[in-house]
Amino acid sequence: MARKRKRNKKINPAVMLVILILVLIAYIVMAYFESLNNGESTQDSHAPSSTSETVSSGEITVSSGELGEVEYHFIDVCQGDATLIRTPEGDILIDTGENSAEEDLKNYLDICGVDVLQYAVFTHPDSDHIGGADMVLAEYEVLNVIKPDFEKDTQVYKRMMEGIEAEGCKVYNALPGETYSLGEFDMFVLGPDPESQSKFGIKLDSNNSSIVIRATWGSTTALLTGDAEEPEEKSIMMTYTAADLGSMLLKVGHHGSRTSSTEGWLAAVNPKIAVISCGLDNKYGHPHAEVLAKLEAYVGDKIYRTDKLGNIVFVTDGKAFTYQE
């Protein structure tokens, strides 16, 4: 007798669709919990500034971490200026001293372990502030340059601009009211202000085109002045209040020259610490005696000079400055 063939049962398409959906949901849930176990996150609070920065209207903000220490290194470059600021989010160099001091500057930066500069700030185009700029741009990775919108027809300035172009870094012409930040460390630009200076009949020359920065970390403040002289001090005071200018630490303008640090300026800043960058037995007689006398009225014996002390380092935890002997 012939056997009766069994008929294969077909799966209902609707049932198949439900099964596929359940499998897909299970896969998504498993992947989600696996990412949590691996500690993955869509944000990295310590991401490098080269990949996490946002730029708008001259303002740069880098993702911030927990408040730690910031170091201010006022480097002895003889008769010139060079300041290294070390933050938890990266390093900032303000000015470079003369070309003749670039070897000393490089040695100092290398000892500190500097590889990348988040910012190089060239306050104005005089050689005692940008003489080593071409070396810095060639030897270190520089991500951002801040400079004044003021040119000078010198070989030193041309070498700096060629170095900037070769490095390919972002360039910002500093304008008053802008803030450049690394995490919780802020640099607020007070000057130069060409419009304000023109309005009040103040001549914009090299020194008075200096970038003037008020830096803040926690509740501590530092005023970094380049070679700003009386005209630029006057212009800034016409724009900002004493509350905007008040700073615990003052990097004294123009190496302690009598052309800077007017009575009104010091009264507005009201510093507790003064730092002067100048060369030993320099031909200009910096710092001038009358400036030292005015500073003593505010800071007492808290005047720190590179010609007397060499490299000067202050550390701040966001509450106070501590001198590192």
Across the beta sheet with 54-56, what order do the strands follow?
54-56, 59-61, 179-182, 185-191, 212-217, 220-224, 249-251, 273-276, 303-305
> Could you tell me what percent of the chain has a pLDDT over 70?
80
Residue 211's contacts (CB-CB under 8 Å, 6 or more residues apart) are 121, 122, 123, 124, 146, 147, 148, 174, 189, 191, 192, 226
* Averaged pLDDT for residues 195-224: 91
Task: Using the predicted structure, report yes or no on whether residue 14 has a pLDDT greater than 90.
Answer: no
Predicted confidence (pLDDT) per residue in 21-40, tens digit: 665 666 665 554 554 444 33
* Domains of the chain, earliest start first: 54-323 (3.60.15.10)
131 pLDDT band, cuts 50/70/90, is very high
Task: Using the predicted structure, report yes or no on whether residue 214 has a pLDDT greater than 50.
Answer: yes
The pLDDT value recorded for residue 204 is 81
Record the tokens describing residue 286, joined without a space.
């910096």
Predicted confidence (pLDDT) per residue in 167-198, tens digit: 999 999 999 999 999 999 999 999 998 887 77
The pLDDT value recorded for residue 47 is 28
Record the tokens describing residue 89, joined without a space.
């989010």
Predicted confidence (pLDDT) per residue in 59-99, tens digit: 333 334 467 999 999 999 999 999 999 999 999 999 999 99
Predicted confidence (pLDDT) per residue in 232-257, tens digit: 999 999 999 999 999 999 999 999 99
Predicted confidence (pLDDT) per residue in 272-320, tens digit: 999 999 999 999 999 999 999 999 999 999 999 999 999 999 999 999 9
Task: Using the predicted structure, report yes or no on whether residue 46 has a pLDDT greater than 90.
Answer: no
pTM: 0.80
